[in-house]
Structure formats: structure tokens, C-alpha cells
Structure 1
């Protein structure tokens, strides 16, 4: 789980890793579960209400004409409130609350729902500027959703995934050097759109506390990375850049090319080694993570 910014990392084993929106920290350590207010039929008939309902219907047809949102579900039940939330995005201060509600309903603690996938056309429309809203929010949410998609769902939303992938690359180029965590979140989303297994969900371990499995004795070693790496009790052995391969090499080079030297340094640790406190074997941290994912 990503910790609330400013509070340091929180520990959750890899088998239970609740997640949240990278842009909206949890409150008091938990994501506020707040049911979104829905327009009833009576409200739609009230002054101004019919205009809002028409906008919802138009937005629903624009983003995904075949979706009957009332037949889909999200974290709190029927998803017929989702088009209304997207309609409320207009660049005002209200947008923060709307995005909070969207994250809470569609990606509650990292869980995605059938309505989450149906929202991908709306998120792609926002990311590409066809609909109002913050494009960074759209690609971050889209990445978390797509990371859970199977081959059938990826095929169904292939065009939206392609659009989100392109915008994510553009967002990565704009991340300031003093926002390394945002760079990691976006890189993780990019891997999700590309269909890269494991690291499309676990790349955020670059700045978290977690457990990795020793390849020799299968004991779990607590690893602490990111800005708190010096506080890690485990004996860590960062990889040299020329040792890195695959995703590790790619993330290192992406970070260095973008001026994110801090993220590049984190990558040498995540894709480096640790000494097991039980059997004193030096094992690959990334392999230890992958082993837990497949166990």
C-alpha cells in the first residue's frame, strides 16, 4: 500500500496490498468510503434536473453507447451514478471531490469492478482532451484498472488502452524532478497499458516497505526502499546499472533520461539484492517479489 504522503511508508505484505489514488491520500490511514449522491427520477424532473440528466445520457452515449450503467456495479452497488460524476468534471474546484468519489467507487483500495472497465472510454476521452477533466487523474486510474484486465477485456478496450498509453508517455515527460513518486505511478501505469505482468502493479514498491522471499530457504525478508532505504534493517546490495536487464534496465534508463536520478537509484535497489537474515544467501529482490506473486 502506498502510504499517506508525509507520514512515511506503511507496511502491508504483498498478499494484501490495499491501494488508493496516487493523487488523493487516504484520510487517517484509510480511504473514505463515501457514497455518491444520485439523481432520482423526481430530481430529474425538477428545475435544472432534466438538463443534468440529459447531459449524463449524452456523456454516456459519447463514451460508451452500449453501456447500461444500471446493470453494472462498483464498490457501493449499482453504477448508474458514474455518468453523472464524469459530467460534473469541468475544471473547477469541485473536480477534486468528484475524482475522489470516482476513485472510491471504481478503484476502492485497489479493487476494480465491472463498472471500472466500462469507465475506460470516459477516462480515455478525458486523457485525450475530448472531455473535460485532469488527464493525469485519467491515466492513473486507467492504469490501475487495466492492470487487472484479462485478455478479453484488453481486446474489448484496445483503442482506449492505446490512447491512454500515448498520453501516459506525454505525462511522464512532464513530471518535475521533485515528484519521484508521481513518476513511478505513471511508469507503472504505462507498464499496465503495455501488458507487462507483475511490475504493472508492483513498481510502486520502489518507495515502499514490503517482504521479499529468499530463493534458497523461502524465508521472508522485510525490505524498505525509496527515501527510507537507509533505515532498512536488511543488508541490501544495489545492482550496478550495467547489471540491470528487462524491466529494471528500462525503468532505470527511463528515469535517468527524464532527469529522475532518485528513481533510477531506487531501481538499482529494487532490482538488486538482499542478504537473507535466516540463511545468509544473497538473493534477487525482484525475483523474490515475482515468486510471491506466483505462489
Structure 2
């Protein structure tokens, strides 16, 4: 159960200290040892997850590394059997995150993305923004041209991106109604609505809606096409 530095005994020592004292110095070192550059985890990361989750209900500092580890579960970490061994801790973390989201924290998007990862949808957890300036690149299933989907301050549209001219031949989006959502899209939208995150909910309705390809006029489901290209192989 080695950590980022190859050590096998330092993380247990730090976790024991974290249970006694919620000190920033302890959490900083734990973060450095358990998650490298925000997207690489180690056997010690998964071994530490149950303890981190048990602390997360009373320590905001524990939620950060716990969420980062769950988000990295689908990554290339050479310990594919370990995430499954953390199923009980991940289920408990789902409850912790749900309670935290209901409190409407200022950093709402971070625990929201952690919750998406807990549900196993790592691609959405990795790319979902706050829809202030979000762009998604999707290949049209009808003609294979790359279509830019904009959902944010620059507008809401599908377009073909030109190197010199920017997004050209824009087409209006076709957001889905709440009743038309299902699966993870429905969960994301209902959670955002429940917690008063109006912009986030509206962005999700557009992301899980339909778009028109400017090149061939074919209409497709944005989320389905994006997920099929970006969903990690587990």
C-alpha cells in the first residue's frame, strides 16, 4: 500500500494524526502523498479512503482528498481491484456528499462533481463546468464533422469552429425538458434544482438536449455522443 513517494507507513501515521487533530499541515501532506497533480492515485489512496470518508462528515478537509480519489478511480493507477474493495466507503461518501450539497456550499460544483463520480460517471465528473463558459466538442454521428457545443456566457449553440473566424454557422440548441431526462442526467438536474442551482440546472438541460449539425443538419443527442467518445473503459 505505497503512496506517491513509495512509502508504506507515512499515510497511516498521518491519518491517525488527522483523527486526533484537524490540522492543515497534516492534510496538506496527506493530499500530496495520496493524489499526484490532481489526477494520479496509488494503492495507499484507496486504502485510506474508508478513513477519509469516516472523517468527511465532520471535516471539510477530508472531503477534498476523498473526492479526488473517487474521481480518479477510473484512471490509470495499476490497482484496478482496489476501487471495488472500497464500495462500502463510497456508498457512505454518497450520503456525506448529499448532506453537504443540501447545505448549498459556496463551492457547490466541487462536491457536485464528486457526487457524479460516486455514481460512476467519471467522464461527466471530469468535464462538467459551471456553465459560465463551457464548450464541448462532439463528432456528428451523421457526417463525422466536429461540432462545437457552447453552453455559457458566449451563448448556447452548436457550430463549426473555424481557426480564423471562430464559431460559424451557429444553430439554436434544443434543451430537454425535465420530464425527458433519465439516468444520470435526471439525477444531476433534479439535484441542482433541489439545491437552487438554477444556472447549473439549465446548463444540464442543454447538455442532455439535442443539437443540430451545421454541416449536414442532422440532429443528435449531445450527451449520448459526448459520453460514447469520452466514457472511460473500466
Calculate the TM-score normalised by the size of structure 1: 0.60
Distance 1:106 1:267 in 2: 31
Distance 2:216 2:33 in 1: 45
**Which residue matches 2:47?**
118
**Which residue matches 2:220?**
283
Report SS of the residue matched to 1:223. Answer: strand
**Which residue matches 2:63?**
136
Q: From the superposition, tell whether residues 252 and 164 of structure 1 become closer, same or farther in structure 2 (CA, over 3 Å).
A: same
**Which residue matches 2:161?**
none
- Identify which of 193, 200, 208 aligns with 2:118: 193
Q: From the superposition, tell whether residues 102 and 211 of structure 1 become closer, same or farther in structure 2 (CA, over 3 Å).
A: farther
Structure 1 residues not aligned, in runs of 5+: 1-68
Report SS of the residue matched to 1:211. Answer: strand
Q: By how many angstroms is 1:198 displaced?
A: 4.0
Cα shift readout 1:252-294 (whole Å, capped 9, x = no counterpart): 1111122111211111111112332332322221012112125
The question of 1:82 aligning with 2:8 is answered no
Q: From the superposition, tell whether residues 252 and 88 of structure 1 become closer, same or farther in structure 2 (CA, over 3 Å).
A: same
Structure 2 residues not aligned, in runs of 5+: 158-166
Report SS of the residue matched to 2:214. Answer: coil
Q: From the superposition, tell whether residues 274 and 111 of structure 1 become closer, same or farther in structure 2 (CA, over 3 Å).
A: farther
- Identify which of 187, 196, 207 aligns with 1:270: 207
Contact map agreement 1:205 1:270 (CA 8 A) in 2: no
Q: From the superposition, tell whether residues 221 and 128 of structure 1 become closer, same or farther in structure 2 (CA, over 3 Å).
A: same
Distance 2:8 2:137 in 1: 36
- Root-mean-square deviation (CA), in Å? 3.2
Report SS of the residue matched to 1:237. Answer: coil
The question of 1:239 aligning with 2:170 is answered no
The question of 1:219 aligning with 2:156 is answered no
Alignment size in residue pairs = 213
Contact map agreement 2:3 2:44 (CA 8 A) in 1: yes
Report SS of the residue matched to 1:215. Answer: coil
- Identify which of 196, 206, 211 aligns with 1:259: 196
Q: From the superposition, tell whether residues 143 and 174 of structure 1 become closer, same or farther in structure 2 (CA, over 3 Å).
A: farther
**Which residue matches 1:248?**
185
Contact map agreement 1:147 1:192 (CA 8 A) in 2: no
Distance 1:213 1:103 in 2: 37
Calculate the TM-score normalised by the size of structure 2: 0.73
The question of 1:210 aligning with 2:136 is answered yes
